[in-house]
Amino acid sequence: MSLTIVSLLPALQNTNGDAQNAQVLAMRAAWAGLDAEVIAVDDADRLPDRVDAVVLGSGSDASLEESRSRLLALHDELRRWGTEGVPILAVGTGWELLSWGVETGDGRSIEGLGILPGRAVPRTARVTGDLVVRSSAFGTLVGFENHARDYRGAEGSPLGRVLAGVGNGRDSGQEGVVMGSVYGTHLHGPVLAKNPAFADHLIGVMAERAGLGYTPGGRAAEVDAYASAARDAQSRAAGVEASAR
């Protein structure tokens, strides 16, 4: 059986390379001896019959309304996948579009798809820089945040606690949102390349739903050592002591 990973709207939602999270999932699955493929879906007509995971990256504010229009055609599928436990990873504006809605700095209000709780609201200034997060499920997560909005209304279900950076903002001390197997985050990187424990969790869910087993392959251990060193270096650069991680 081949696992199918859908990369949603990569032509519009890939300004930070976040669409490559789909390739990370496929490669790690392949290292474990599982057959996996990535299918780019820019409109509903290209949707495959089987979907085992979904990746939605981040785009610019200029593409928000077009991206929302295309995602709206997939609203029923996205809601069904979320309900059925299909892993969905949404980053940056991709996450915001799956929320209750987005308020932009120029006064626009864009209704979200309501797949995830919370709403994106303007900040007084854009935040860019290292983001280090402590997750009870995945340990230390690192990435780069670059957003002009805070996220409110997700306090009960964050991805983790901010150790360095801003995350969801509004002095929440939290980053991201989780609902079942649907994840929203500000972590760019791509996040799954820098944080293989997160990637392995998603692959494990994919495999289990497909009636397959998943154990990371030998190649993964070698790559993960590089990721761990990079994660430690980024954490130190952000001023996070080892004891806090």
Q: Is 108 left (phi over 0), alpha (psi -120 to 50) or beta?
A: beta
**What pLDDT, on the 0 to 100 scale, is given for residue 179?**
96
pLDDT band at residue 241 under the 50/70/90 scheme: confident
Residues in the chain: 245
pLDDT in tens, 123-170: 999 999 999 999 999 999 999 999 999 999 988 899 999 999 999 999
DSSP symbols for 222-245: HHHHHHHHHHHHHHHHTT--GGG-
With vertex at residue 97, the alpha carbon angle to CA 49 and CA 125, rounded to the nearest 5 degrees, is 150
pLDDT in tens, 47-72: 999 999 999 999 999 999 999 999 99
What does the mean pLDDT of the chain come to? 95
pLDDT > 90: what percent of the chain?
92
pLDDT in tens, 97-125: 999 999 998 889 999 999 999 999 999 99
pLDDT band at residue 242 under the 50/70/90 scheme: confident
DSSP symbol at 33: T
What residues contact residue 217 under an 8 Å CB cut-off, 6+ apart? 28, 31, 32, 33
Domain that holds residue 18: 2-244
Q: 84: burial class by Cβ within 10 Å (0-12, 13-18, 19+)?
A: exposed
Amino acid at 166: V
DSSP symbols for 175-235: E-EEETTEEEE--BTTHHHH-HHHHHHHHHHHHHHTT------HHHHHHHHHHHHHHHHHH
pLDDT in tens, 201-216: 999 999 999 999 999 9
pTM for the full model?
Answer: 0.97
Give buried/exposed letters for 201-225 (b at 16+ CB in 10 A, else e): bbbbbbbebbebebebbeebeebbe
Ordered strands of the 2-8 beta sheet: 35-41, 2-8, 53-56, 88-91, 182-185, 177-179
**What pLDDT, on the 0 to 100 scale, is given for residue 15?**
87
How many independent structural domains does the chain possess?
A: 1
* Domain containing residue 233: CATH number: 3.40.50.880
Residue that is written with structure tokens 């994919």 in the block: 206
